[in-house]
Chain A
Amino acid sequence: MTINHRLLDILRRGRSPHENHLIDGLVRGAFSRREFLRYGSVLGLSAPLLGGITSAVGFGLAPSMARAGTPGGTIRYGQIVPAAAVNPVTVADGGGLTVLSQFGETLVFSAPDLSAQPLLAESWAPNADGTVWTFKLRQNVKFHNGKVMTADDVVATFDRLSDPEMGSNALSVFTGVLSKGGTRKVDDYTVEFHLDAANGSFPYAVSTDNYNSIIIPAEFPEDFEATMVGTGPFKLEKYTPKVGASFVRNTDYWGPAPLPDRVEATFYGDYQPQILALQGGAIDVIQQLPVLQAVALLNDPNFTIISTPSSAHQQVHMRTDMDPFKDKRVRQAVALTLDRPKIIAGLMRGKAQIGNDSPFMPAFPSTNPSVPQRQQDIAQAKQLMEAAGVGAGFQTTLTTEKYLEIPDYAVLIQNAVKEIGIDLQLNIMDQGTYYGDAVFGKSPWLDSSMGISDYGHRGVPNLFLQAPLMSGGPWNSAHFNNAEYDALVKGFVASLDLESQRATAGQIQTLLLDETPLIQAYFYDFLTVTKAGATGVVPTAMGHLMLGQASL
């Protein structure tokens, strides 16, 4: 690897201290090329510049263009029926999001490799302490109603989302991050976000990682479902609640001309009928399939499985404030009984990444790889049980929900802890009952001494680190209360450069391994299935399905 310092110096010109720090890290070998690209993109370095820097450092940017598809035709895809009205302000379910992704676009695209890519924003940059982020908007973007998109629309969109009066689902992302009025127009194509607190990964909060952040016209139509005005490559043709939707090519699209003439969405209540529909030729793409169902298609040459790594996981919590898991040695012992590689190979058919009992999955650039991976060790687990005074074992209940592979995972945990004398009863309820009112005292999820809950994908670990683990966090089902942890997370969220993020991450990972309030044994991949030979289908682990460049 030869470093072209002269080229590098030219490229460094005009870069902020954070950006130069990142470049230093790359030169020193502290980050890989991939991590550099990914984090550089968060800080707002443009793709050509990033490519220039990596080639100056000697990496060379691999050509990433897939072969061009043929224009025309109709793409028919299957998805889970939206749980509620398709309204960008309130959508809170994957089904609704998939529909939004057909016609709507966000400022930033959180790509499958976890990098932040420009979409409706051309570039962005933070101020020195990460409390103000400035976004430059694309200038040639038109809404489906013919109106040109400007800063006013962006400000209106985010004011709506951060207004407690509107009951927006995005409040779970924006509370403590962005308040109403924090989004300000600088000129027609520049917007500033004045944050409630410093945030090093803010672009993800306005990216496809946020269910609700598609940009819609400032004058939000009363009956959004009837028009679905967005900026995307397809325009609404017809929407039939519970049944499906169809979209046609947007000839005014700002980006590369969309290939398909039409996109047809069919809604399904479950996965099985989608598999049958795909096999029967009624649809060409299944937007998402859990691995349990995808087993049916894994070895079928007629279909291609697109496997997108995600941070989605099934989180096992143990109440740290009451017996039998009050003693951290008992919690460690439980975590030590799991044979993770076997669970990934058998239960998840290899479509998952190993977890180390913290939200830091291996694919996050901020994850500190020097923290040792926890492995199955029954002997040590037994010792820990002895040391905690429960060597003879005990009986307790694992409460969880009937969702995806969770019941099976619960059975595996039940069998695993048998080895150390724990007699685990399973109480598996339907999803609504398990989450209950989602407040302490009225929710088996938050009140059970041990439980398994499903967490969807996020491009950065911030949310996973805060709500389920910070003292008093609204989703803190482990009732974890640790001042040192809280301080570390605050530092992590505020830090703008990857190196310090990674250092803090190492401390957080070590602390969580020691305390083990949660078990994250694996992070499962997001699986999308297409007919063999289909190209250009771009899913995100959040649930978007981008078909603008798709072809069969």
Chain B
Amino acid sequence: MMLALLTLWLLSVLIFLGGHLLPGNVGRAMLGPLADQAAVDVLNHEMGTDRPLLVQYLDWIAGFLTGDLGQSYAYRSPVAPFLMTALLNSAKLAAVAFVLVVPLGILGGVVAALYRGRAADRILSVVGLSATVVPEFVSGIVLILIFGIWLRWFPISATWVDGAGPLTQLYHLILPAIPLVLILFGYIARMARAGMIEALDADYTRTAVLKGLSYPKVIWRHVLRNALLPTISVIATQTVYLIGGLVVIEILFHYQGIGSLIYTAAKKKDFPMLQAGVMSIGALFALTTFLADLLYARLNPRIRFGGRE
């Protein structure tokens, strides 16, 4: 936990410095090249961006620690509501992606493990790994072309009308989720396959079979659970990666999530927004790593089986 906090603090310094190295000044960036210089100066003074860097940093970090994320330069209103909406939207998209990919990935891994070394295994592995390296915008555009424009099965914009029900929201999120599914499938299937093979070869599986349990039951009760373990760690490590992917997906599908929030904040030099966005990713990273460790410990077969036998 200490390490995670240290990492976060380092991150905050880096982000702050990075943000303030951006060329051009804030007022100018906000008002545009043709705005009057007097207007720019007044704005810079109002926002306090003409103060020394250290003062601005301390002010920001103090606010951050007390839960005040600051005011967006671009919208002149608090950052927090924007960040919350964006995180919620991204969480929805990520949830759809995970709900699709986790069962698929595990199924793929289990099948590959059961047919170890045979054609099905090879094909799953090659296809899975190939999908993993194709950039999201490439698969996204091909999907838009096929399912959005030619077949017209899915809407091409992920944004739904205000007040749309969960099903409509889901319908809008399927197409954007698929590129993420494609990327993650390979990882999860691979980890599930490895975990599965290890479990299949393990003593307790042989013991269970010898005890007279039926093969499918053994797989279901012992092997699958153990195949889940590495999958959880993949999900934990890939959450951060997923957010990187969200930048592109959210731009492509016009979705107001954390990725597009960071992207537009960077483009508009809206530092408070940018800093809050990137910090929240750092925090998310720390949190998912921590949760994955907890979960991992709970599900660890050695602990469970060691305790019982």
Contact = CB atoms under 8 A, between A and B. Distances in A.
A437 B28 contact: yes
Interface in A218-258: 225, 241-244
Contact of B75 (A242, A268, A436): A242
Contacts of B36: 168-169, 171-172, 175
B37 interface: yes
B256 A243 contact: yes
Nearest to B33: A435
A72 interface: no
Interface stretch (A6-14, A19-27, A188-196, A275-283): A275-283
Contacts of A273: 156-157, 159, 253-254
Interface string B20-61: 000111001111111111111111001000000000000000
A270 interface: yes
B39 A168 contact: yes
B157 A280 contact: yes
Contacts of A432: 23-24, 29, 267, 269
B32 A93 contact: yes
A343 interface: no
A92 B267 contact: no
Contacts of B254: 268-270, 272-273, 276
B157 A84 contact: no
Contacts of A409: none
A439 B24 contact: no
A83 B30 contact: yes
Interface stretch (A143-151, A159-167, A284-292): A159-167
B28 A242 contact: no
B264 A282 contact: no
Contacts of B33: 435, 438, 443, 445, 453, 475
A475 B36 CA distance: 11
A90 interface: yes
A436 B76 contact: no
Nearest to B42: A167
Contacts of B253: 273
B47 to A, nearest CB: 11
A83 B40 CA distance: 15
B107 interface: no
B82 interface: yes
Contacts of B31: 84, 90, 92, 169
Contact of B156 (A268, A276, A475): A276
A436 B253 CA distance: 30
A242 B82 contact: yes
B32 A92 contact: yes
B4 interface: no
A129 interface: no
B222 interface: no
Interface in B186-232: none
A404 interface: no
A254 to B, nearest CB: 31
Contact of B38 (A171, A243, A276, A439): A171
B19 interface: no
Nearest to A246: B162
Interface string B253-275: 11010001000100111000000
Given A273-B157, A276-B157, A277-B157, A83 B32 contact: yes
A430 B267 contact: yes
Contacts of A436: 23-24, 28
A51 to B, nearest CB: 37
Bin chain B's interface residue count. Answer: 35 or more
Interface in A78-101: 83-85, 87, 90, 92-93
B60 to A, nearest CB: 20
Given A85-B76, A85-B77, A92 B35 contact: yes
Nearest to B35: A92
Nearest to B77: A241
A389 B185 CA distance: 65
B38 A167 contact: yes
Contacts of B157: 273, 276-277, 280, 282
Most buried by B among A266, A272, A433, A438: A438
A83 B268 contact: yes
A167 B43 contact: yes
Contacts of B245: none
B74 interface: yes
B39 A269 contact: no
Contacts of B156: 273, 276, 280
Contact of A437 (B25, B39, B148): B25
A166 B159 CA distance: 37
Interface in A376-426: none
Nearest to A463: B34
B28 A269 contact: no
A129 B42 CA distance: 35
B282 interface: no
Contacts of B23: 432-433, 436
A166 B42 CA distance: 7
B155 interface: yes
Nearest to A171: B36
A165 B43 CA distance: 10
Nearest to B260: A269
A244 B156 CA distance: 19
A225 B29 CA distance: 21
Nearest to A453: B33
Nearest to A91: B31
Given A269-B260, A273-B157, A276-B157, A172 B34 contact: yes
Nearest to B268: A83
A282 B161 contact: yes
A276 B158 CA distance: 11
Contacts of A437: 24-25, 28
Interface string A428-463: 001011011111000101000000010010000000
Interface in A84-143: 84-85, 87, 90, 92-93
A297 B34 CA distance: 31
B16 to A, nearest CB: 19
A385 B74 CA distance: 48
B39 A241 contact: no
B169 to A, nearest CB: 14
A164 B28 contact: no
Contacts of B159: 266, 273
What are the 6 closest A-B residue pairs judged by CB atoms, nearest first? A167-B42, A273-B254, A435-B33, A171-B36, A85-B76, A167-B39
Interface of A: 83-85, 87, 90, 92-93, 164-169, 171-172, 175, 225, 241-244, 266, 268-270, 272-273, 276-277, 280, 282, 430, 432-433, 435-439, 443, 445, 453, 456, 474-475
20 contacts: A85-B76, A92-B31, A92-B34, A164-B38, A167-B40, A168-B39, A169-B31, A171-B38, A172-B36, A175-B36, A269-B254, A272-B254, A273-B156, A276-B156, A282-B155, A282-B157, A432-B267, A435-B33, A438-B28, A475-B34
Given A433-B24, A453-B33, 9 more contacts: A172-B36, A242-B82, A244-B162, A270-B254, A273-B156, A276-B156, A280-B157, A282-B157, A438-B33
Interface of B: 23-25, 28-43, 46, 74-77, 82, 148, 155-157, 159, 161-162, 251, 253-254, 256, 260, 264, 267-269
